[in-house]
Structure 1
Amino acid sequence: MSLSNDIKGIDLIKNKGLVWIYVDQPTREKLDTLSREYPLHELNIEDCLSKNQLPKIDRYDDHVFIILQFPTIKKEKTIPRFSQLSLFIGKDFLISIHQGNLKPLTDLFLACKFQNVKNIKAIMGNSPGYLLHSILDALVDDLLHLLMKVIGNLDDIEDAVFDDKVAIAKDISILRREITTLRRIVVPLKRIMVEVISRDVRKFSTDVEEEDLISYFNDINDHVSKVLEALDESKETIEIYKDTDHMLSSEKTNKILSFLTILFTLSIPVSIIGTFYGMNILIPGSVNYSENMFDYIPFMLTTGLSVGALIVMLYYFRKLGWLNNLTK
């Protein structure tokens, strides 16, 4: 292959016949340039230009195309976002394509490019299978760091759940979203890793490296499995914290409502008496006194209507079953 290292937006490293081509922020022009030198299928090129493809593996006679997703966090945002990584892996080349926001991949390429030959050999090895292992290992290690942050946030929420002075409903919701996002990344990654180990490691490894590379990929797969198990446990834990916070908040609300209900109930007799004596009618015991009983007819009517309305409401409430618990 005669691909030049001077093409803008495309960088490459060569080591003993193996070429690592690094592309960030892919464009149609860049991928068309690569397709003239390497057997890239048009459908795979379209997948690389899209930012929201589902993880998958496409196998061809002379190369394999892999799409993976890894989390990335912007400085102004704490919630992980999906970032797509596309890989073309052939007998003597590996092409990595991403949007430029996978920092572990960028750091790995720069370490390979600007450091000594010994470091290049440690990263690239002698086959594209070994280089693929190095890339996945760096990205999965970064995934483990994000998992540690999630577990740390879980510990903080555990301390805050039982603190009445702290409102953590929003923090719980954000952490649930983080865990869900990471699980949506790790579950397909686990499936892809199993397929790569079972079908593709031998295809792109030398006979000498084959056995060792399977062990290396099994180690990455083991890390992915541990991440998935930890995320499942974290999901269950955050659901418990959510239910606990809801229960404690409801209990606190009920205490406040109970206090207000008692306060309102205690004020009812005073309100009733004040209401009767505030009416513009003659009431026994008031300042306006009369010896004529007919002058008290408005008072009798008001009292009778009030008592009658009370009896009707009690009957209606009992018919609805609202008073059953009070009569048991």
Structure 2
Amino acid sequence: MPTKGTRSINLGKLTWLDIQDPEPRLLHKIAQEHGFHELDIEDCLSDNQRSKIDEYDDYLFIILHIAYYDKRKQRVISEEIDIFIKNNMLITVHWGSIKPLTDLFDKAKSSAALRKEIMSHGSGFLLYEVIDHLYSSAFPMLDTIERNLTSLERDVFSLNQKRDMLKDILNLKKNIIGFRRIIAPQRSVIAQIEHKNKKFLPHTLEIYFDDVVDKIEKIWSTLENLKELVESLQDTNESIISHTTNNVIKILTVFSVVMLPLTFLTGLYGMNVSLPAAESNSVFMVIVVIMVVTVASMLGFFRYKRWI
């Protein structure tokens, strides 16, 4: 009887066993039945193993990672899938539900046509279908990132935008960098699978795995472009902030310079000493006129110099 979190699909001699949240006792039992190395079982029970492919006489052990966007944390995280493949057997091991893998398994379980399509050509072709489905799920995420980047770009260049864009830009940049960090090791692992020559991985499958390699490279090149775009957007945003700050400082400087002669005049006639015309009834209006003329002259001069 399958244990909780363990499901299987059979077609002819081929079995696909999917294990979610594996129990050590179950994995050790499977290892004894199929001759899997104990180190591979330890890798399955450990978190955050590096992507790799280990080759044995009658099976391959593969560790892959895919990117997943955690809406609660608002960041891209890595999900690990451990795969054992041998003749007539494919075993996928993972912690938690991995949506693209679960979707494919559920559809194959419920649809005889799909089950026949992906499982009637041996475990090697089933491996191709699983990997292809896993990394096809990256493209909707890339589309979302591109839309967010376009929206940020529009906001950055909007003259009426009052929101501080730096936090949003840095968050998007962090997700792109995290996405790249996840995808980078997968490129070499998938390329190695393409050239493995096993009974369950015949040369006829090379063209299929070559398609997956192309898909991985397309994801990588898209991430490279997105990284360059978000860095350019960050530089542009910083330039706009710097330009705005300089304008504010310039205006404040103009006000300070304009106020200097006014402060001098008011301070001069505010002293408790006898000054020329200080007792005249018209001295106030004269000082006001002088101040207005001074301000107008200075502003006119600044305007002529295009400082304001």
Q: TM-score range by the shorter chain?
A: 0.7 to 0.9
Aligned counterpart, 2:158: 163
Aligned counterpart, 2:181: 184
Change in CA separation of 1:75 and 1:30 when aligned onto 2, cut-off 3 Å: farther
Distance 1:157 1:31 in 2: 47
1:45 to 41, 48, 54: 41
1:180-237 superposed Cα distances (whole Å, 9 cap, x missing partner): 111112211111111111125x44235xxx41x2111111111111111111111111
1:254 to 242, 246, 251: 246
* Pairwise CA distance, 1:92: 2.0
Worse-matched range after superposition: 32-41 or 122-131: 32-41
Aligned counterpart, 1:101: 97
Residues 196-215 of structure 1: matches in 2 within 5 Å?
196-200=193-197, 202-205=198-201, 210-211=203-204, 213-215=205-207
> Which 5+ residue runs of structure 1 have no aligned equivalent?
289-328
Aligned counterpart, 2:275: 284
RMSD over aligned Cα atoms: 2.0
1:152-186 superposed Cα distances (whole Å, 9 cap, x missing partner): 22222222221133332222111111111111122
1:64 to 51, 55, 60: 60
* Pairwise CA distance, 1:7: 2.2
* Pairwise CA distance, 1:138: 0.7
> Normalized against structure 2, the TM-score is what?
0.83
- The DSSP-based 3-state class of the residue aligned with 1:73 is strand
Aligned counterpart, 2:223: 231
Q: What is the one-letter code of the residue matched to 2:140?
A: H
Identity of aligned residues (%): 33
Distance 2:106 2:240 in 1: 51
Is 1:120 aligned to residue 112 of structure 2?
no
> Is the 1:69–1:185 Cα contact (8 Å) retained in structure 2?
yes
Is 1:88 aligned to residue 84 of structure 2?
yes
Q: What is the one-letter code of the residue matched to 2:149?
A: L
Distance 2:160 2:27 in 1: 56
Q: What is the one-letter code of the residue matched to 2:252?
A: L
> Is the 2:269–2:275 Cα contact (8 Å) retained in structure 1?
no
Distance 1:87 1:242 in 2: 40
Worse-matched range after superposition: 77-86 or 163-172: 163-172
Distance 1:112 1:267 in 2: 80
Q: What is the one-letter code of the residue matched to 1:165?
A: N
Aligned counterpart, 1:302: none
Distance 2:8 2:149 in 1: 42
The structure number with the bigger radius of gyration is: 1
Aligned counterpart, 2:14: 18
Change in CA separation of 1:9 and 1:278 when aligned onto 2, cut-off 3 Å: same
Residues 136-151 of structure 1: matches in 2 within 5 Å?
136-151=131-146
Distance 2:10 2:30 in 1: 16
* Pairwise CA distance, 1:115: 2.0
Distance 1:232 1:140 in 2: 17
Higher normalized contact order (CA 8 Å, seq sep 6+, divided by chain length): 2
> Is the 1:123–1:131 Cα contact (8 Å) retained in structure 2?
yes
1:67-96 superposed Cα distances (whole Å, 9 cap, x missing partner): 111011234243211111111111221110
Worse-matched range after superposition: 156-165 or 86-95: 156-165
Q: Which runs of 4+ in 1 moved over 6 A?
A: none
- The DSSP-based 3-state class of the residue aligned with 2:221 is helix
Q: What is the one-letter code of the residue matched to 1:30?
A: L
Aligned counterpart, 1:298: none
> Is the 1:277–1:286 Cα contact (8 Å) retained in structure 2?
no
* Pairwise CA distance, 1:257: 1.1
Distance 1:114 1:250 in 2: 59
> Normalized against structure 1, the TM-score is what?
0.78
1:133-164 superposed Cα distances (whole Å, 9 cap, x missing partner): 11111111101111111122222222222113
